[in-house]
Amino acid sequence: MVRKYRPTVMVETGVFLGRSSTAILAAMNRNGVGHLISMDLPVAMTAGETGALVPREFKNRWELRLGDSHTLLPQVLAGGIDFFFHDSDHTYELQTFEYESAWPALRIGGILGSDDTNRSNAWASFLERHRGEYRVVENGPGPVRAIQRVR
């Protein structure tokens, strides 16, 4: 989706070691455009530090912010974004907070995506509240879903 929609500014929540971040950054690198702002809670990991897998050659397109998305998202979203991807804690409350925070900051034509949409009813509830404002661009068969803002 990053290759296809070519976001200039993308935000992802949930980094862990950085597998998804690396894939996103590789796509941006191939596109020749894009900046990724990733956020996650600082945690002690035995396998390495947050984002440890992100290669050095992609870090010029990457900004890692450590902290709670309740605090960080309002700061990051203030300037508008082209793509938001949720892959942090998959509770109804946090998913809802992140989707609803990102939606008004998402430019028309922008993408809102989420991993593990099957972990709570937050995705379905969000879609119901915003009926008519999006079109589906990715809908399974796995738990990753994405919509494109149309108004």
Domain that holds residue 55: 2-149
Q: What is the pLDDT of residue 42?
A: 81
| H or E stretch at 10 | strand 9-13
Q: What is the CA radius of gyration of the chain?
A: 14
User: For the chain, what is the domain count?
Assistant: 1
Q: What is the pLDDT of residues 59-89, one digit of tens each?
A: 999 999 999 999 999 999 999 999 999 999 9
The CATH number of residue 101's host domain is: 3.40.50.150
Q: What is the pLDDT of residues 40-63, one digit of tens each?
A: 998 766 567 899 999 999 999 999
- Cα separation, 57 vs 55, whole angstroms: 5
The pTM score is 0.95
| Cβ neighbours around 35 below 10 Å, total | 17
If you count them, how many residues does the chain have?
Answer: 151
